[in-house]
Structure 1
Amino acid sequence: MRTPAVTINLAAPLSDALAMMREHDVRRLPVVIDTGELRGMITQGDIRGADIMRVAGLDPLDIAQALRQVKVYEVMTTNPMAITPETGLREAALLMIENKIGGLPVVDDQNRVIGIITESDLFETLVLQLDHAHTSA
């Protein structure tokens, strides 16, 4: 799990979400309200329409303006699946596989985002375990 999770407020413009994803090199952001409570998830795929608009020949300045006008809550996935710090890695991995998602927000007992676990985190753990098993053999 990566903590603290990079989150975005649901009223933020899409341009802010895209900028945060680029700045922090992440593909998804938990969407929160002012208290930090989870309300949704937004991914690069949710914002990818901007690239389609560019390929279609729309002016980059027009695209940037559109991204400033559309709010995160208008395109986010609502009521996303989340886990707690007590959730095991196997269970988290199964949830991601079964639901075809690349990451899960980790929330406390008041539904506040405290971290995020991604498929990259699971791969890193697997590699460490394989390395450990290899050196122990």
Structure 2
Amino acid sequence: MPLPRISAAELMTENPRTIRDDDLMGEAMDVLQTMDFRHLPVVDENGELVGMLSDRDLRALDLLHSPDAEAADRAQQKARLPVSAMMSGNVVSVGPDADVTELMELMLENKIGALPVVDGEGEVLGIVSYVDVFRGLLEEA
């Protein structure tokens, strides 16, 4: 059964919260935790996408939960690093016209839970998560 024609622009959360690559990791941790985000696009001084931070990245670095004093100290040291030191570079992104099939294929191939949606200059227009894809498909069913 063919999938409905749904574009990234129809599924995305528009104007998502981003963080600069020269901001500190402590701020990124605060944004992810207090706003209950799982993905945070990273932009440069021109607003162009240069990376991505996820809650999974922070968990892998023991930055979300520090069970002991030594781990808490390491987390504090990492919190003072720039986002560029911890972000995932070479981020996979799509344009607003990408269809739902392409979104799913990219997420599966790259084992990622969200895709930034960018314009021709690399400026972040939105973000599409796997939950957005599921929701869009269910609404079309």
* TM-score bucket (shorter structure): 0.7 to 0.9
| Structure 1 segment 90-109 matched on structure 2, within 5 A | 90-109=101-120
Residue aligning to 1:37: 48
Greater relative contact order (Cα 8 A, min sep 6): structure 1 or 2? 2
Q: Which has the larger radius of gyration?
A: 1
Q: Is the 8 A contact 1:5 1:115 kept in 2?
A: yes
1:21 matched to 2:32: yes
Equivalent AA in structure 2 for residue 80 of structure 1: V
Equivalent AA in structure 1 for residue 43 of structure 2: V
1:65 matched to 2:68: no
CA drift at 1:44:
1.0
Residue aligning to 2:131: 120
CA drift at 1:68:
2.9
Equivalent AA in structure 2 for residue 106 of structure 1: V
**Could you tell me the TM-score, scaled by structure 1's length?**
0.84
Equivalent AA in structure 2 for residue 70 of structure 1: L
Please provide the CA RMSD for this pair.
2.0
More helix by share: 1
Q: Give 4+ residue runs of structure 1 displaced > 4 Å after superposition.
A: none
Unpaired stretches in structure 1, ≥5 consecutive residues: 131-137
Residue aligning to 1:78: 89
Count of residue pairs the alignment pairs up: 129
Residues 81, 51 of structure 1: CA spacing in aligned structure 2 closer, same or farther, 3 A cutoff? Answer: closer
CA drift at 1:63:
5.0
1:54 matched to 2:60: no
Unpaired stretches in structure 2, ≥5 consecutive residues: 1-11
Q: State the Cα deviation string for residues 56-105 of structure 1 (Å, max 9, x = none).
A: x2268635632431221111111201000011111111110111110110
